[in-house]
Amino acid sequence: MAMFKKVNVKIDGGFELDLPEMVKVRQVFPAPELEDIEFTVAAQINKEEIKQLVKPGARIAIAVGSRGIANLDVIVGALVANLKQLDAKPIIVPGMGSHGGATAEGQRGVLANYNITEETMGVPVKSSMEVVQIAELDDGYPVYLDKTAFECDAIIPVNRVKPHTDFKGPHESGLLKMLAIGLGKHKGATKVHTQGFNQFAHLIPALGQTIIRNAPVIFGLAILENAYDHTAEVIAIKADKIYDQEKELNSRAKNLLPKFLMSEIDVLIVNEMGKDISGSGMDPNIIGRNVSGEPGFAAPPIKKIVVLGLTEKTHGNVTGFGLADVTTLLVVNQIDFSATYANAITSTELDGGKIPMFFNNDKEAIAVAVKTCNRVEPRGAKIVRINSTLEMSEIEVSTALIPELEKRDDIEVLSAPYPLKYDASGVLL
């Protein structure tokens, strides 16, 4: 870990600002949610068009990824149980590209963190980084696939369909991406990333469809989540229908995303960021900024972003930190540069390894952010504070935003106004 020392900088007028008071509010989002996940999975697997694809005695590779999907162990466990009832022989393979340190044991460990082990699932977990080239695209681009999965009788990818954090297109994160990148392991994932994010909208569906045609993919299990990161839907999709149906699911997933309900923000205060929150530390679909520079990330304009902390699970990996404008000495001294740089290099987007300007404490960081908002008086600053971009329901807003928000039916005011307070060391309470 780096050890940066105190920052000595003077700013006109100092760090004491007359800031507006804050109010707690609740943003209300549409929130469809499954009541019985195991029942739903069973119903999906026993649909006639799906059930007939599962052959008795077939060795089936269930591909499971590495992002924080709600109820992933429940969903995978239910899938395993239903395949067993159909006399199949499922195994689990990691479908997570180069995550987990790009090692077999590392990827097995990632699955274990999500409670997916041989003990909890009752089936073997076969983790390997070995791939085979199974085909080529028309331009000669090689198509790689996990060797263990390819040698099974059938493959079932399980993944959440959601907007990607680095590019926009009809297909973003989902089943095709898991086939193209997740089951491509380190070799396939690295190859795809060297093409640049501006190629992903074309490359991911092309690779995914080629794998479906050349490997024993029988169906996929797609997951949708609501704005509160709860399971909204689980859908089994025949392999030959994944391309068309995932486009529709991607559109629905975008409509389920949480967002800021105000028209503009001067200063956004983020309590914590991390890889367990988003691949970019903060979800670009929420803040409107992304590492790749690709267009299509709509959000209210935000003049300055302040990050005050890192999640424990990110272990110092601050990929995407440069999307913020200001942070603190405490946060910078928690950075694991090796992990962060390795992540940025693999993605080929070196901006992912940049760090924002940092100051000695929260008070100084927030003061600099407010002072550098052009044509904004501190007392009238439109300030929003969130815990993370995963927690967008109950947030804090400055009183300058209340006249706009109180006109909306999807905003509930939860408190009377109160001032921002700091402890003796300048840490925001």
Along the 429 residues of the chain, how does pLDDT read in single tens digits? 568 999 999 888 889 999 999 999 999 998 999 999 999 999 999 999 999 999 999 999 999 998 789 999 999 999 999 999 999 999 999 999 988 888 999 999 999 999 999 999 999 999 999 999 999 999 999 999 999 999 999 999 999 999 998 899 999 999 999 999 999 999 999 999 999 999 999 999 999 999 999 999 999 999 999 999 899 999 999 999 999 999 999 999 999 999 999 999 999 999 999 998 988 999 999 999 999 888 889 899 999 999 999 999 898 999 999 999 999 999 999 999 998 998 888 888 999 999 999 999 999 999 999 999 999 999 999 999 999 999 999 999 999 999 999 999 999 999 999 999 999 999 999
The pairing of strands 131-136 and 89-94 is unpaired
Pair 252, 273 in one domain: no
- 54 belongs to a structural domain: yes
- 315 belongs to a structural domain: yes
Pair 214, 288 in one domain: no
- 331 belongs to a structural domain: yes
Instruction: Domain count for the chain, please give it.
Output: 2
Pair 212, 349 in one domain: no
DSSP letter for each residue of 304-340: EEEE--B-GGGTT--TTGGGSSEEEHHHHTT--HHHH
Total-model pTM? 0.89
Domain boundary among 240, 256, 272: 256
Pair 227, 315 in one domain: no
Pair 78, 119 in one domain: yes
pLDDT attached to residue 2: 61
Pair 181, 306 in one domain: no
Q: How far apart are CA 189 and CA 202, in angstroms?
A: 15
Q: Record the tokens describing residue 4, joined without a space.
A: 């940066």
23 contacts 397 by C-beta, under 8 angstroms? yes
Pair 343, 238 in one domain: no
- 13 belongs to a structural domain: no
Pair 242, 314 in one domain: no
Q: Which residue has the tokens 């913020």?
A: 324
- Domain interval for residue 296: 22-29+258-413
- 298 belongs to a structural domain: yes
C-alpha distances out from residue 280 to 75, 232, 270, 291, Å: 26, 24, 14, 7
Pair 362, 231 in one domain: no
- 5 belongs to a structural domain: no
- 15 belongs to a structural domain: no
Pair 189, 249 in one domain: yes
- 76 belongs to a structural domain: yes
Report the run of H or E that residue 89 belongs to, with start and end. Answer: strand 89-94
Side-chain half-sphere CA neighbours of 321 within 13 A: 30
Q: DSSP 3-state assignment of 268?
A: strand
Pair 56, 146 in one domain: yes
Long-range CB contacts for residues 125-133, cutoff 8 Å, separation at least 24: 125/91, 125/92, 125/93, 125/94, 126/61, 126/91, 126/92, 126/93, 127/93, 127/94, 128/93, 128/104, 129/102, 129/103, 129/104, 129/185, 129/186, 129/187, 130/185, 131/184, 131/185, 131/187, 131/188
Pair 70, 192 in one domain: yes
